[in-house]
Chain A
Amino acid sequence: MNEKTLETTEKIKQEMRRGITVAVVMNFLKQAQYGYALLKSLNDSGTDIGQDTLYPLLRRLEEQELLESEWRVEDPRPRRYYRLNETGREVYAALLIELKEIEKLIRSMTNETDK
């Protein structure tokens, strides 16, 4: 692959990842987590996401009323915890079904390629 093709491939890969980032973040928010811990959990699980993507995404999900947040003061210092609400869990379940469909599609594509 030449440099331009590599660049194009990288762009498409990023677009594909961006598409599932929302579902991945929602998966981690089934339990309440504060921002920095969430960022670390995501990075530890292999999700390449920075705070410049995560925090705007959290705000957007909150604006879309898919998650709720609250300040907890019982920690060593106040921390803002995020968690999926009822609607968020429903949306996440729907996204999961969609991801499974995509997985099936990928399997069929891979089988086709293998033949």
Chain B
Amino acid sequence: MKLTNNARVLLDRYLLGVRRALTGKKRDDIAAEIESSLMDRLEEHSTGDQEITEAQVKNVLTEMGSPRKLAASFGPQRSLIGPRLMPAYLLVLRIVVPVVVGALILSIIIRTLIGEADSTAFPALEYLATLWNGAFSAAAFVTLTFAIIERVNEEKEIEELAEFDKFDVDALPDLGEADKGESITETVLEIVFGVIGLAFFTYILNNNGLFPIRISPMKEVALIPIFTDSFLRFMPFMMAITGLEVSRNATFLAQGRQTSLTNWWNILTHGANMVLSVFLLRAFPLLTAEGFKSLPLPADWDLARIETGVNTGLKVIIILSLIGTGVEIIRRLVRIAKNSAP
């Protein structure tokens, strides 16, 4: 079978387009097969010893469609995230996006209420944009990560996924297992401390941040400020989060077991606590010794050093609590992930 010069040029141009549209290590192999297949089709259109004309080539190529389309139809079917990774991908997406959006909402609320937010003409639109950006970035990050895993581990077994897919009937959790690690006593104690905390915060707020102190030579109790103004600004949020924790624990006690509601409620309050801790760390110093200057204290007391020491101690406690809360959130999310696995 022979082609006219123009027909050959047209075919070569088309094949160049096909080669450019192909990717991967089998690119040359697939291109050669496409060429062979096109020649077979052209042969079918040829009659006897006559040369194939440019018009005949054009007809066959039009039938085939664009080089890109033909290249795609010959290559292996690809998807960004294949069926193998899809269940794990959806699960991670369902966890990460709401957590990021929740943290952003809390951060926006706190920033607005403490007056840290930028004053713009359309704050609501800016908040929506922040939320959208956060959700989109989180989803994009998860998608990109899974797409990379898909490409890097192409045709390979992924050990972690095999673990994820394993199912042993005997290993199914007992109905009460989810409650382990969260005993009734622990929950009751949390409620008691939560209520004490609420009472303390209410007292401090009602007294404009003044705290009752009495040192030995004094005959009367003195009300002095021990919290800085920046700490007092956060007190309503601390009360709100403590209130959420107390009500969550009360719900847990009322239901008698851990449920999806109380679990997610717990993650939400822990997340809120983390966001608040970050804001508190940025607002240091939180405690002040200024009020003690008016009291009859021993002469060798260095109030400045005491103030620095106490604030540093508090900072360490907040950082440790931040880490602990992060670990707790991860632990709960992993538990949810395990329970969601087939």
Contact = CB atoms under 8 A, between A and B. Distances in A.
A43 interface: no
Interface band, chain B: 10 to 19
A35 B37 contact: yes
Contacts, number: 44
B155 interface: yes
Interface in A67-88: 71, 76-80
B36 A56 contact: no
Contacts of B77: 56, 60
Interface core residue of A36, A60, A77, A78 (most chain B CB under 10 Å): A36
Contacts of A55: 33, 73-75
A80 B35 CA distance: 11
Contacts of B33: 35, 55, 80
SS class of chain A's interface: helix, strand, loop or mixed? helix
Contacts of A71: 32
Interface string A28-47: 00000011110000000000
B40 interface: yes
A51 interface: yes
Interface string B32-48: 11001101110000000
B49 to A, nearest CB: 13
B1 interface: yes
Given A35-B33, A63-B155, A77 B39 contact: yes
Interface of A: 34-37, 50-52, 55-56, 59-60, 63, 71, 76-80
